[in-house]
Chains A and B, each alone.
Chain A
Amino acid sequence: MKSLAELAAIRDKMKDKVVLREGSGEIRVVVGMATCGIAAGARPVLNAFVEGVSNAGLAEKVTVSQTGCIGVCQYEPVVEIFEADKEKVTYIKMTAEKAAEVIEKHLKGGKVIQEYTISNAIS
């Protein structure tokens, strides 16, 4: 059974890390979580990013957050990636599988997957 003692152990482990985390968030992954996004399947996409970023060891560099309606409901689930000095990348019709690919190729490898972006859909 998960115990509160385990939670205390997590706290003790994190004590030293909290300081390191400051100044992090070079890359921001933002998942649209309004009615449109949720209905289209944004919840598993968000969870895939939260889990995948941590498992890939990118937690120091990448923050995953939620936002409301981005305004392109027909393309939900939508994920935006913001990086300093770079143009925003908007991925559309995301799935947990595509999220894993984005983590590997884009967040880790630095290469945008054009095929999944909104500019690919409208051009």
Chain B
Amino acid sequence: MKELSLNILDISMNSVKAGAENILIKLVETADTLTLTIKDDGCGMSEDTVKNVMNPFYTTRTTRKVGLGVPLLKLAAEQTGGGITISSVSEKDNPDEHGTTVTAEFFKNHLDFTPLGDIVSTVTTLIQGSPDREWRFEHILDGGSVELDTKELREILGDVPLDNYEVIKWIEGYLREGYESVNNV
């Protein structure tokens, strides 16, 4: 993947497929690290499955026999000296509180750090594709933070769906302006 934001898009799709109602994408940056957390309340995975998702030849899909999403994120993190952890509680084991959390740590000053890229485009793509889920995005940087919560938007929007084109454009503009004001600090 050319941008970390593409890995984030890809991994977040797993949360959608897991039937999550709430998905959090959180980025925390310091001078030399970037920590990514993707947390969902989807169906979760058994312990065995958690072990298997690191393996590129494991997939739940039937159209082909390799699942590269998690291995690619792992590679992107490890090649900077960081790594990933996955914790998950399956719905079977705990019907009341289940879901998956993927955490990845990157060292930004490493030569092999993949730039974050167009994260705004990733967030709008996710909301456009799955407007029925609640998305929370937080990016904490040195100069401040950029945040978006679809629950808050929905309260204002009422019956107008989140994938309405003007709403998507508003979200895109809102996030881009958020980044501009953080960068200008």
Give the interface of A toward B (CB within 8 A). Answer: 1-2, 4, 6-8, 10-11, 13-15, 18, 33-36, 38-39, 43-44, 46-47, 50-51, 54, 59, 64-66, 68-71, 73
Contacts and interface: CB of A to CB of B under 8 A. Distances in A.
Interface majority SS (helix, strand, loop, mixed), chain A: helix
A10 B72 contact: no
Contacts of A39: 1, 6, 10, 72
Given A39-B1, A47-B121, A7 B64 contact: no
A15 B170 CA distance: 17
Contact of B6 (A38, A59, A68, A71): A38
Given A43-B121, A59-B165, A65-B129, A35 B67 contact: yes
22 contacts: A7-B170, A10-B160, A10-B164, A11-B158, A18-B160, A34-B10, A35-B10, A36-B68, A38-B6, A38-B10, A39-B1, A43-B122, A46-B125, A46-B128, A46-B129, A47-B124, A54-B165, A66-B128, A68-B17, A68-B61, A69-B64, A70-B63
Q: Please list the 4 inter-chain residue pairs (A to B) with the smallest Cβ-Cβ separation, ordered nearest first.
A: A66-B129, A2-B174, A71-B63, A54-B165
A14 B6 contact: no
A34 B173 CA distance: 26
A74 B153 CA distance: 38
Contacts of A44: 121
A15 B128 CA distance: 19
Nearest to A8: B156
Interface majority SS (helix, strand, loop, mixed), chain B: helix
Contacts of A4: 152, 156
A71 B63 CA distance: 5
Given A2-B177, A43-B122, A69-B61, A10 B166 contact: yes
Contacts of B174: 2
B32 interface: no
A38 B164 CA distance: 22
Nearest to A37: B10
B82 to A, nearest CB: 20
B65 to A, nearest CB: 11
Interface string B144-185: 000000001100111110001111101001100100010000
B6 A33 contact: no
B116 interface: no
Contacts of B75: none
Contact of B125 (A2, A43, A70, A73): A43
B170 A14 contact: no
Interface in B98-143: 118, 121-122, 124-125, 128-129
